[in-house]
Amino acid sequence: MGAYIAGSGTCLPPNIVTNDDLAAIMDTTDEWIQSRSGVRQRHIANVGVGSAELGANAVLASLDDAGLSVNDVDVLISATMTPDHFAPGNAPLIQDRAGLGAIAAHEIRQQCGGFLYGLDLADALIAAERAETVVVVGSEVHRGYMPFGASIHRLLGTSTAPVTDEDYATATASRAWSVLFGDGAAALVLRPGPTDAGILATTLHTDGSLFELIHVPAPGFVNQPWSSTAQIEAGLHQPSMSGGELFRNAVRLMPQAIRTVLETYGATVADLDLVLAHQANQRILDGIAKQLDVDPAIVASNIADYGNTTAATLPLLWHDTKNDGRVPAGTLLAFTAFGAGAHWGAALYREPAAVTS
C-alpha cells in the first residue's frame, strides 16, 4: 500500500525580485539569467521572516487542502538547508508554530534532495502502519546567504539608497549562484492510499565523495572555534559551488533514478505522464527530457517564477501542476531530485481516484 498525497499547501513571501532588480545591484543581466537558468524572478523573505514561519504556514495550508486538522497529524518531517537556528533546526519550530501537539517531528538535512528523502520516510512510516497522516514540508529562506550588503534592502523595497561600489563588487562575485535561488515553503499531506496508487517505488542514493561540489564550509564543528569572524571575512559561510560538475551529475543521475523506479514497478519511460524534477536550472530539466527521450512538455517547470527553492521545489511543483489540472486520476509521474551531499533519487507515483476515508 503506497502513501498518497491527500493535500498540498504553500507559503511564498510576497516580495518578488526580478532579474532586472538583481541587475541593479550587481553585474548581471535578465538575458544571462534567463538563458542560462530559466529563472525570471524569485520571492525573497523580509528580514526577520525565517523558513520555520513559512514552513508552518505551508503545513497549515496543506492540512486545510486535505480537509484535515492539526490533531490528525501523526508525524511531521521537515526538510531545510536554511533553518532559523543552527540547532535545533526547524522541525520543533514548525511543530510548535503550526500547533501540531507533541508528535514526532523529524529534521532532515538533504538539501535539494531533502523533500524526496522526506517522501520516502513518510511512505515507509505509512506502509509500516506506524503513522496514518504524515506531513512533509520543505522550507527555505536563502536570503541570509546573499552577500548583497545594504543592497538587500533595495530588493526588499525598504531602501532606495544608492548601491555602493563595495556592495556591487561583493554581489557580483556571488553572481554564479546567488541569482539562482529563491525563498518559499510547501508541504504535502501523505495518507494510506488505495492499492496500486500513491507511491509505487522509490530509490535513494548518496555519494559523499561529491560533497564539495556544493557546500557551505563554515561554521562547523570541525573548526576551533566552530564559528569566527575570520570565516565570515573569507566568505566561508556562503555556498561554494562547482556549477558545471553539478550540472553534469544532475543530468546523468536523475534520469537514471527514474529508470530504476520504473523498472522496480514494471513500467517503462513510455508509461510516464509527468516528471516532477528538482528545479535547479531549466537546462537541467531539458537535459532530463533528452536523456529519457520524452517530450520536454512532460517535464514540468515553474523555475521561472520561484528560482531554486532547494527543499521546497518538489512540493511547490506538485502544488502548481495539481492546481493546473495536470494530475488527473490515473496519472503516472516520477518525482526526482539531485543536490548537495550529493543526495539524489526518484519516487514513482500514481494519482488515485478520489479517496474517501
Ligand X SMILES: CC(C)(COP(=O)(O)OP(=O)(O)OC[C@H]1O[C@@H](n2cnc3c(N)ncnc32)[C@H](O)[C@@H]1OP(=O)(O)O)[C@@H](O)C(=O)NCCC(=O)NCCS
Helices vs. strands in the chain: H and E counts, helices first: 13, 13
Rounded Cα distance between 7 and 190, Å, is: 8
Closest CA to 221 of 212, 213, 231: 231
What the block records as the C-alpha cell of 115 is 523533500
DSSP lists the bridge partners of residue 308 as 181
Q: What is the 3-state secondary structure (H, E, C) of 10-30?
A: EECCCCEEEHHHHHCCCCCCH
* Residue selected from 2, 3, 6, 28 as contacting ligand X according to rule CB under 6 A: 28
Contact call for residues 34 and 62 (beta carbons, < 8 A): no
Q: By CB under 6 A, which span of 1-9, 133-141, 246-254, 312-320 interacts with ligand X?
A: 246-254
Q: By CB under 6 A, which span of 159-167, 174-182, 202-210, 347-355 interacts with ligand X?
A: 174-182
Closest contact distance (angstroms) between CB of 76 and ligand X is 24
Is residue 106 part of the annotated active site? The answer reads: no
Q: By CB under 6 A, which span of 44-52, 89-97, 173-181, 258-266 interacts with ligand X?
A: 173-181
Closest CA to 187 of 55, 303, 98: 55
Instruction: Provide the residue count of the chain.
Output: 357
Is residue 302 part of the annotated active site? The answer reads: no
Phi, psi of 88 (to 5 degrees): -95, 25
* Residue selected from 36, 97, 237, 252 as contacting ligand X according to rule CB under 6 A: 36
Rank residues 40 and 175 by Cβ distance to ligand X and give the closer one. 175
Catalytic hit among 249, 308, 319, 343? 308
* Residue selected from 39, 60, 280, 348 as contacting ligand X according to rule CB under 6 A: 280
Q: By CB under 6 A, which span of 33-41, 99-107, 120-128, 195-203 interacts with ligand X?
A: 33-41
- C-alpha triplet 165, 168, 174: angle, nearest 5°: 145
Q: Which residue type occupies 60?
A: L
Is 246 a binding residue for ligand X by CB under 6 A? The answer is yes
Number of residues that bind ligand X (CB under 6 A): 20
Site mask, ligand X, residues 143-172, x = CB under 6 A? ------------------------------
Is 247 a binding residue for ligand X by CB under 6 A? The answer is yes
The DSSP secondary structure of 86-138, one letter per residue, reads TTT-SHHHHHHHHT--S-EEEEE--GGGHHHHHHHHHHHHHHTTS-S-EEEEE
* Residue selected from 8, 12, 17, 37 as contacting ligand X according to rule CB under 6 A: 37
Closest contact distance (angstroms) between CB of 21 and ligand X is 13
Contact call for residues 256 and 287 (beta carbons, < 8 A): no
* Residue selected from 1, 18, 30, 32 as contacting ligand X according to rule CB under 6 A: 32
Is 179 a binding residue for ligand X by CB under 6 A? The answer is yes
Residues 93-152 interacting with ligand X (rule: CB under 6 A): 112
Closest contact distance (angstroms) between CB of 281 and ligand X is 4
Q: Which residue is nearest to ligand X (CB)?
A: 243
Quote the distance between the C-alpha of residue 28 and its chain's center.
25
Closest contact distance (angstroms) between CB of 163 and ligand X is 16
Is residue 308 part of the annotated active site? The answer reads: yes
What the block records as the C-alpha cell of 171 is 554581489
DSSP lists the bridge partners of residue 198 as 350
Catalytic hit among 11, 43, 90, 112? 112
Contact call for residues 11 and 58 (beta carbons, < 8 A): yes
Catalytic hit among 278, 302, 319, 343? 278
Catalytic annotation, residues: 112, 278, 308
Chain residues in the site for ligand X (CB under 6 A): 28, 32-33, 36-37, 112, 175-176, 179, 214, 241, 243-244, 246-247, 250, 280-281, 308, 339
